[in-house]
Amino acid sequence: MKRFLLTSLLLSFFFSYSQVPQITENTTISIITIDPGNLLNDSFGHNGFRVKNDYLDIVYDYGRYNFEDPNFYTNFAKGKLVYLMGASNSLDILGYYKSQNRTIKEQVLNLNQAQKESLINYLANNYKLENRPYLYDFFFDNCATKMRDVLEAVLNGTIEYKTPNVYKNETFRTLIQNNLYWNSWGSFGIDIALGSVIDRNATPREYMFLPENIFQFFEEASYNWTKKPLVIETNIINTQNGEFSKGSFFTSPIFILSLLGLLVLFITFNDKKRNSRSKCLDVILFSVTGLIGVFLLLLWFATDHTATAHNYNLLWACPISIIALTQVFKSVPKRWFVGYLKLLIIMLCLMVLHWFIGVQGFAPALTPILSAFAIRYMYLIWYFNNENHASTQQD
């Protein structure tokens, strides 16, 4: 830690005067690729530029953020994600990822002396305090795409990419979920929060929003006028030992939501036997789905998050359910409430249709709980129709 702090201070002092690392004949610049880790925020890996010579061994990356920024959480909620360019001693940062048991790969770039100087000057300019922040976008401007964009800018667009074998005609959602265990809360939350805008197929260039795909594309890249390879040497610095834990099945989304679905069905079955209605269950059901719907609506219209638009999870998490709560408390609700229950069943059917034809992918763990919701809605329609019929006969 002391060495890390000392290196950071030296780097800050060094670049505060717009200086750059001294170029020597044995200076190498490479792309570092860190494979995914065990936590959600590590699930997609990381990239950085490594500059190594007789004087310095530094990794520059574009994946920093400042929690101490007084507006950090407000900007995060609004979708105005400001990330920072940073620099660290290579031994410290590589040691950190080794301690996390993550595979580390290095691709030495095929650059002449002038190109090395241009790239280092570019990075040094980015490292100036006023130039470090940038507006982050998970798909189009992140730590991985910066590797591509910076190198293209320095090399004046002379890089020619070949589509590697890793490329498949897949959607952004599939590419994300390929890095996650499907029955995890991280995977579940992403499928709830992100809308149908990520259910289009990614182009080969767009594939490079993931660090591993930067590695794969750079392995096949070359200069378009000489056809010389962009990468002259690839090294494995560290190899992951074993697989990361997927967590307990008994705390997973599919297990928890299946239990909740069974509870809804059990209460509904008992209500049917007694010809009654458990208001507490219906209050919870309409409150939870309504509040989730309000949250998704805010993500769509009240933030700058580009991936949360056109979210058809609103078909099951409808914000109108908050208004419908006024009728849930009544023994005999107004007629429009029964119509709303029918609408909820129709919207669940539309959700299945959207899922089937590929308009949007949904979290598989939703299946048991939404099936229970559909049965509950049908029971409520039956129950209120009987209540209304009985009331009419008495009148």
pLDDT values of the chain reduced to their tens digit, one per residue, 395 residues: 334 444 444 444 444 434 556 677 889 999 999 999 988 889 999 999 999 998 899 999 999 887 667 676 677 667 778 899 999 999 999 999 999 999 999 999 999 999 999 999 999 999 999 999 999 999 999 999 999 999 999 999 999 999 998 889 999 999 999 999 999 999 999 999 999 999 999 999 999 999 999 999 999 999 998 999 999 999 999 999 998 888 899 999 999 999 999 999 999 999 999 999 999 999 999 999 999 999 999 999 998 888 999 999 999 999 999 999 999 999 899 999 999 999 999 999 999 999 999 999 999 999 999 999 999 999 999 999 986 545 544 44
CB atoms within 10 A of CB 301: 9
Strands 82-89 and 104-109: unpaired
Could you tell me if 198 and 138 are in contact, meaning their C-beta atoms sit under 8 angstroms apart? no
**Same domain as 150, residue 42:** yes
**Same domain as 104, residue 35:** yes
Task: Please tell me the predicted confidence (pLDDT) of residue 386.
Answer: 85
**Same domain as 387, residue 272:** yes
**Same domain as 224, residue 259:** no
**Same domain as 210, residue 310:** no
CA atoms within 13 A on the CB side of 192: 18
Which of 238, 262, 292 is the endpoint of a domain? Answer: 238
**Same domain as 228, residue 257:** no
In a domain, 187, yes or no: no
For residue 276, the Cα-to-chain-centroid distance in whole angstroms is 44
d(CA 213, CA 313): 29
Q: By three-state DSSP, how is residue 244 classified?
A: coil
**Same domain as 285, residue 211:** no
Question: Torsions phi, psi of 243, nearest 5?
Answer: -105, 150
Q: By three-state DSSP, how is residue 146 classified?
A: helix
d(CA 49, CA 33): 9
Task: Please tell me the predicted confidence (pLDDT) of residue 21.
Answer: 62
In a domain, 75, yes or no: yes
- State which residues form the domain around 76: 2-167+204-238
Task: Please tell me the predicted confidence (pLDDT) of residue 39.
Answer: 86
CA atoms within 13 A on the CB side of 218: 31
In a domain, 316, yes or no: yes
Query: Angle of helix 320-328 relative to helix 279-301, nearest 10 degrees?
Result: 160
**Same domain as 228, residue 276:** no
CB atoms within 10 A of CB 7: 20
Q: What is the number of domains present in the chain?
A: 2
In a domain, 243, yes or no: no
What's the sign of the alpha-carbon dihedral 112, 117, 120, 121?
Answer: negative
**Same domain as 322, residue 365:** yes
Question: CA-CA-CA-CA torsion for 57, 60, 61, 66, nearest 10 degrees?
Answer: 100
**Same domain as 298, residue 227:** no
In a domain, 193, yes or no: no
Task: Please tell me the predicted confidence (pLDDT) of residue 65.
Answer: 80
In a domain, 196, yes or no: no
In a domain, 89, yes or no: yes
**Same domain as 221, residue 273:** no
In a domain, 189, yes or no: no
For residue 189, the Cα-to-chain-centroid distance in whole angstroms is 9
d(CA 217, CA 270): 59
**Same domain as 254, residue 230:** no
Total residue length of the chain: 395
